[in-house]
A and B are shown apart, each in its own frame.
Chain A
Amino acid sequence: AQTIHQWPVAEIKAVGSPLSLGCTIKGKSSPNLYWYWQATGGTLQQLFYSITVGQVESVVQLNLSASRPKDDQFILSTEKLLLSHSGFYLCAWSLGRASQNTLYFGAGTRLSVL
């Protein structure tokens, strides 16, 4: 069975500090991977997607970056957090395109930037 694990569960960070969120998918070879973000009271927005190791495409510019260093790992990061980065971050995977197939989400990371 496939499992998706996100870390950390929650973070409280200061404005201007760096951030690294991680996601690991087990039990599925070469999945498409995604980062989604939802501000409090906002809409779930796709930030990045990756269809293969080393390749990441940006969907929305939020002064964040993403990397896929291994087939089963997806990292979201920034060197300087903004207040507007607060929210709920979800990693997801799919077989085939998310625009046509089921998305399977991780449990998410709640980020508070103070």
Chain B
Amino acid sequence: GQQVKQSSPSLTVQEGGILILNCDYENDMFDYFAWYKKYPDNSPTLLISVRSNVDKREDGRFTVFLNKSGKHFSLHITASQPEDTAVYLCAAGGSGGSNYKLTFGKGTLLTVTP
């Protein structure tokens, strides 16, 4: 089954607005959570990440919120800009054992309209 799920395949927001991208996961052993950004015809790049010892991390207009009991994390983007238009991939990984796997969600296509 899909271990990391993004329920919204797409989202549209007007420039300047606030938006929230959501991600749910199944594996209790996940303790690292990340959001990657992918422009068309480009590879994913890390946007922001958080470890499970905190429930929030902020970097400029981008904030990750982590709800471990709900197995949910989200990306909040404030003052959205047209250049934020991209596919956003959530990802999660665990630190146990010989775990070298980062599991991705299917992605949410965000469109910011002028």
Q: How large is the interface on B (under 10, 10 to 19, 20 to 34, 35 or more residues)?
A: 20 to 34
**Considering the chains assembled together, what is the distance between the CA atoms of A59 and B49 in angstroms?**
23
**Considering the chains assembled together, what is the distance between the CA atoms of A108 and B43 in angstroms?**
7
Interface members, chain B 5-48 (any A CB < 8 Å): 32, 34, 36, 42-46
B101 x A59 contact (CB < 8 A): yes
Q: Report the stretch among B61-69, B76-84, B87-95 that lies at the interface.
A: B87-95
Q: List 28 A-B contacts (CB under 8 A).
A: A42-B106, A43-B104, A44-B44, A44-B89, A44-B104, A46-B101, A46-B103, A49-B100, A90-B43, A90-B44, A97-B93, A97-B100, A98-B100, A98-B101, A99-B32, A99-B95, A99-B99, A99-B100, A99-B102, A100-B32, A100-B93, A102-B34, A103-B46, A104-B45, A105-B44, A105-B45, A106-B43, A107-B42
Interface residues of B (CB under 8 A from A): 2, 32, 34, 36, 42-46, 49, 51, 89, 93-95, 99-107
